Amino acid sequence: MITVHDYCLFLLVMAGVTYLLRAVPFVLLKGKIKSRFWRSFLAYVPYTVLAAMTVPAIFYSTDSKLSGVCALAAAVIASLLGRGLVGVAVIACITVLGIDGLTLLL
């Protein structure tokens, strides 16, 4: 059983690790990053993290994997056609509702 003391200790360790992960780069990297490789690498990190969180959620948040795959395909096609973020999300949601509705009818 976790006691209040253990919980506070866990919380302090977690806060310390989080603070160090955010503070150390600011201390070590005072100047501008001159390497073209590292600048481009760091520019893509937010998109990579967003994709790593979003793509698994697409497959596990629906009733079936089929509707998740169809929604992902519809979202990719809509984004390639130049739709905005809201348009892509609406198209993906409508696709999931349509596929799940069809599977209920069959």
Identify the pLDDT of residue 87.
Answer: 95
- What pLDDT digit, counting tens, does each position of 41-59 carry? 989 998 899 889 988 988 8
Residues of the chain with pLDDT under 50: none
| Residues 58/68, Cβ–Cβ less than 8 Å | yes
Identify the pLDDT of residue 68.
Answer: 92
Identify the pLDDT of residue 78.
Answer: 96
End-to-end Cα distance, the chain: 48
* Residues found in the chain: 106
pTM: 0.60
CB atoms within 10 A of CB 62: 19
Structure tokens at 67: 């509707």
